[in-house]
Amino acid sequence: MPDYPERIGSYRITGKLGEGGMGVVYSAYDTRLNRPVALKVIRGSADEENLRKRFVREGQSAARVNHPNICSLYDAGEEQGHPFLVMELLEGESLAARLARGPLALAEAVQVSLGILAALSALHRAQILHRDLKPSNIFLSTHGVKLLDFGLAKPLAQQDDPDGKTQSEITQQGMIAATPRYASPEQVTGQALDARSDLFSCAAVLFEMLTGKCAFPGDSPLQIFHAILYESPPALGGSAAVSAIDRILNRAMDKRPENRYLAADDMAAELRAVLRLDDAGLPIETRTVKRLIVLPFRALRPDPETDFLAFSLPDAIAASLAGLSSLVVRSSLAAARFAGPAPDLKEIAREADVDVVLTGTLLRAGAQLRLSTQLAEAPGGTLIWSKTSQVELRDIFQLQDSLVNAVVESLALPLTAGEIRRLSHDAPPDASAYDLYLRANELGRDWRNIGAAIELYEKCVAKDPGYAPAWARLGRSRWLADKYADASAEKLAEADSAIRRALELSPDLPLAHNIYAQVQVEEGRALEATKGLLERSKTARNDPELFAGLTHSCRYCGLLEASLAAHQQARRLDPKIPTTVVHTYFLLGDYQSALEASQDDFGYATAVSLAMLGRTSEAIALLKEREQPAPRRLARLFMTALRTMLEGDRRACLEASDELMRGTFRDPEGWYHGARQLAYLGEIERALLALSRAVQWNFSCFTAMASDPWLDSLRGDARFKDLLQLAKTRHEEARRAFIEIGGTEVLGCSV
């Protein structure tokens, strides 16, 4: 005898299709309309009120949306106190059944995801969240993807929720009302939900379709929840299309909802672009990516001879590990915020968004140095290893190599041949040269000591001419020392020469590449810098500094959307990394966002954004407070010119502007800002000269120049029109080159 009833209402039962946590699904025949259907009946006792409510809610949610990618609801009823739903009978199999045979090809997985997203888009437009997206609720029918099971679906906007978000449900037993492996972080923590929660789940399903593995593995719900809250899925590689998918997945599965796609349609648009790439059928690789922060070491007893090591040694270790394809390393600037006697791993994990922390203590005893280090998981604090080293002060250089190797080995980081080669040259064999290098790094933290740092770097490379990191930092220091002081062509060439020497010695050195891009931009070679960074991104896509560099160089090419996308990628990898995105927002005319992003600026960007928002008095007060001391002469002149212009002191503004123009200042974006201030004053000849220097040095923000209200006094001049056309031509050249080199796939944006 079959284990199912003969009839339910007017429906003749023909078989059992399956059963889940809430109901049993039968195949049936509608005797009134003569068609096959699927019939879902509530499981268990009809007296279980919560079960009945969820079942009724499923029917109500399904009835509100009619879409090709959502299983249609035909009828609802009740038989002997048991409610039932009547739905279309689908031919095919669930995604869970398909995944049991292995992963899907990339094109097939993307196509399935597009069907899921189309269904989610329809649900979200109807103000419904699905909240339980998983392979068993996705059906691969002969007519396309169908989304099933709305037992956990809820209206998005609740009357008691002024933010229009749905509250995540947690049962009395402490379990979330969702399937653990596919739940979003906000579901796990019981926070308010919106459409981005469903997109997180969709991305987790897509990851599993591509790899055959769960995005967040674990043997228990608690392990899974820990992975969802604190761990990142392995990175994907294998082809340009797979890399593009990896970027989409990372965004959709960001721990913070505000960093995800706003809507299903936005995520779908980027997935469609992936289908236009040449996949070449290459196998998809998965690489686990760890996120590490190296905290400043703590000196157990103050000692003037070794105190510099507390920052400079961990900084050198972090620099060695930065750029590895299987590791994301937080900057030393971010690490400095957590210096202290007893680091709070929970706070560090939350604020720095890391899952591994390296800490240490230093103690000098005579001619020896004792270093105790610990590598621990965060936030749990599980000790991965603890290492104590005692070396002669003259042998400190050995510590960097041993600690870097210990991190690589303990985290089982897979290294490429190039990475192995680079790590073997990250500490010089000359002990005195290494001592000079570390001391220079400590001095270089403060701009006021940059001259002294340059002297030590120069002594270091004189002792060991083959030490690439020292050449790279020497170039950076030369560039920084001159940028806001004299901005001379000679000093810029010296910085360029030092960085190129570093790259000759170590072609894969991330530090050198990222610094060199900044110098190239000021030399008028922004497109060359952009091309170089995009090429390197194909093998170093976990380096936040690289994307911070692209934020800068793309803007000079006029690729403002690409600059914004690069900033977002940099912040995804390192939430605290400083970028120059404030200027990108400004050139886009989004002055409010520019103001909000200006906290890392020396003051000019904040003030000029305030001025564009009509908050002139605030801008003047800020400029008076922050006008730079004499050593940063050019920065002071920029601030003074803007302040006096806003105050209406034309003579003082022109004096400061003329002093800038008589010098050898090279930054083309700086010339653009000077031009717009002069144009605002109606100084046509001066403004055109400044703008000409900006454009000639390849500052190609055509769209900003075409719409900037402060340039209106120039628009009737034929020379301005010629400059605008030249900027447009160079912008188009940069746009074509960006597309040809694969920038749209790397950053996931159109230009």
Q: Which residues contact 659 (CB under 8 A, 6 or more apart)?
A: 637
For 77, counting Cβ atoms within 10 Å of its Cβ (0-12 exposed, 13-18 middle, 19+ buried), the class is middle
Which of 127, 101, 130 lies closest to 202 in space, CA to CA?
130
Residue 390 β-bridge partners: 370
- How far apart are the C-alpha atoms of 214 and 209, rounded to whole Å? 9
Q: What is the DSSP letter of 258?
A: G
Partners of residue 374 on adjacent β-strands: 359, 386
Return the number of other C-beta atoms located less than 10 Å from residue 18's C-beta.
12
- Residue 508 forms part of a structural domain: no
* Nearest alpha-carbon partner for 196 in 126, 147, 242, 130: 130
Angle between helices 510-522 and 526-537 (to 10 degrees): 160
User: Who contacts 685 (Cβ-Cβ below 8 Å, separation ≥6)?
Assistant: none
Q: How far is CA 659 from CA 482, 532, 693, in A?
A: 16, 35, 15
The set of residues, in sequence order, having a beta carbon less than 8 Å from that of 483 and lying 6+ positions away, is 522, 634, 667
Which H helix or E strand runs over 545?
helix 544-556
The answer to whether residue 364 sits within a structural domain is yes
pLDDT at 542: 76
pLDDT of residue 43: 66
Counts of helices then strands in the chain (DSSP H, E)? 32, 21
Residues 6+ away with beta carbon under 8 Å from 455: none
Query: Do residue 707 and residue 679 come from a single domain?
Result: yes
Q: Which of 432, 345, 348, 351 is nearest to 393 (CA)?
A: 432
**Shared-domain flag, residues 43 and 101:** no
Query: Residue 324 gets which letter from DSSP?
Result: -
- Give residue-wise pLDDT tens across range 3-41: 778 888 889 999 988 776 667 888 899 988 888 988 888
- The 8 Å CB, 24+ separation contacts for 714-718 are 714/679, 714/684, 714/687, 714/688, 717/684, 717/688
Nearest C-alpha neighbor of 193 from the set 267, 257, 102: 257
Which H helix or E strand runs over 306?
A: none
Q: For residue 489, which amino acid is it?
A: A
Across the range 482-504, mean pLDDT stands at 87
Q: Are residues 46 and 176 in the same domain?
A: no
Say whether both 315 and 263 belong to one domain: no
Q: Which two tokens stand for residue 512?
A: 């050198």
Element holding 491 (H helix, E strand): helix 489-505
As given in the structure block, the two tokens for residue 263 are: 């809507």
- Angle 195-211/240-252 helices, nearest 10 degrees? 150
417 shares a domain with 348: yes
Q: What single-letter amino acid sits at 284?
A: I
Over residues 205-239, the pLDDT tens digits come to 999 999 999 999 888 888 899 889 888 787 776 67
Residue 568 lies in a domain: no
Which domain CATH number covers 29?
3.30.200.20
Give me the sign of the Cα torsion angle 613, 617, 618, 620. Answer: positive
* Known active-site residue 722: no
Which residues, 6 or more positions from 443, have their beta carbon under 8 angstroms from its beta carbon?
449, 450, 452, 453, 456
What is the Cα Rg of the chain in Å? 30
Is residue 344 within 8 A of residue 359, CB to CB? The reply is no
Condensed to tens digits (0 to 9), the pLDDT of residues 156-202 reads 554 344 454 555 554 434 445 456 889 999 999 988 889 999 999 99
| Position 389 in a domain | yes
Residue 591 binned pLDDT confidence (cut-offs 50, 70, 90): very high
Cβ pair 547, 570 in contact under 8 A: yes
Q: In the predicted model, what is the mean pLDDT of residues 678-701?
A: 95
pLDDT in tens, 704-733: 999 999 999 999 999 999 999 999 999 999
The answer to the question of residue 561 being in a domain is no
Identify the pLDDT of residue 46. Answer: 45
Same domain for 221 and 80? no
What residue numbers bound the domain in which 23 lies?
A: 7-88
Q: Which residue out of 30, 47, 75, 132 is catalytically annotated?
A: 132
Predicted local distance difference test score (pLDDT) of residue 478: 92
One domain for residues 707 and 684: yes
At 280, the amino acid letter reads A
Same domain, 314 and 399: yes
Last residue of a domain, one of 56, 88, 120: 88
Mean pLDDT of the chain: 85
Confidence of residue 274 (pLDDT cuts 50, 70, 90): confident
Nearest residue to 61 (alpha-carbon basis) of 72, 47, 50, 45:
72
Q: Are 619 and 608 in contact (CB under 8 A)?
A: yes
For residues 153 and 268, state if they share a domain: yes
Across 389-408, average pLDDT? 84
605 and 726 together in one domain: yes
At 287, the pLDDT band (50, 70, 90 cuts) reads low
| Cβ–Cβ < 8 Å for 368, 392 | yes
Give percent above pLDDT 90 in the chain.
Answer: 42
Q: How many residues does the chain have?
A: 751
CA separation for the pair 741, 751 (Å, rounded): 13
**Residue 379 has what pLDDT?**
80
- Residue 151 is predicted with a pLDDT of 52
Q: What is the pLDDT of residues 295-316, one digit of tens each?
A: 999 999 888 888 888 888 898 8
CATH assignment at residue 431 = 3.40.50.11830
The string of DSSP letters for 59-98 reads HHHHHH---TTBPPEEEEEEETTEEEEEEEPP-EEEHHHH
Domain-embedded: residue 540: no
- What pLDDT is attached to residue 103? 93
Side-chain half-sphere CA neighbours of 354 within 13 A: 30
**527: pLDDT strictly greater than 60:** yes
Instruction: Report the Cα 268 to chain-centroid distance in Å.
Output: 19
Q: Are 372 and 388 in contact (CB under 8 A)?
A: yes
> What is the residue-wise DSSP string for 269-289?
HHHHHHHTS--TTPPPEEE--
Same-domain status, 102 and 237: yes
Give the C-alpha separation, 389 to 309, whole Å. Answer: 14
SS3 172: coil
Residue 557 included in any domain: no
Range of 271-280, 334-343, 555-564, 626-635 with top mean pLDDT: 555-564
Give the pLDDT band (50/70/90) at residue 427: low
* Cβ–Cβ under 8 Å, residues 271 and 113: yes
> What does the block give as tokens for 121?
């888009």
264 contacts 732 by C-beta, under 8 angstroms: no
Average pLDDT rounded to a whole number, residues 459-467: 93
- Asked if the model's pLDDT at residue 341 lies above 80, the reply is no
pLDDT for 351-380, tens place per residue?
Answer: 887 889 999 999 988 888 899 999 998 887
For the entire predicted model, the pTM comes to 0.74
pLDDT category, 121, cuts 50, 70, 90?
Answer: very high
Bridge partner list, 26: 16, 39
DSSP type of residue 449: G
Decide which of 287, 315, 333 is a domain's last residue. 287
Domain-located, residue 509: no
User: Using CA atoms, how far apart are residues 534 and 743, in angstroms rounded to an integer?
Assistant: 6
Instruction: Verify that 436 and 370 share a domain, yes or no.
Output: yes
pLDDT at 41: 85
Of the ranges 57-66, 434-443, 676-685, the best mean pLDDT one: 676-685
Strand (E) or helix (H) holding 414: none
d(CA 62, CA 513): 54
Number of domains composing the chain: 4
Closest by Cα among 278, 304, 289, 313 to 389:
313
CA separation, residue 457 to residues 388, 423, 463, 471 (Å)? 29, 20, 10, 7
At 572, give phi and psi (nearest 5°): -65, -40
Least confident range from 120-124, 216-220, 261-265: namely 216-220
User: What pLDDT band is residue 2 in, cutting at 50, 70 and 90?
Assistant: low
* Domain finish residue from 483, 501, 519: 501
**Of the spans 2-6, 157-161, 479-483, 611-615, which averages the highest pLDDT?**
611-615
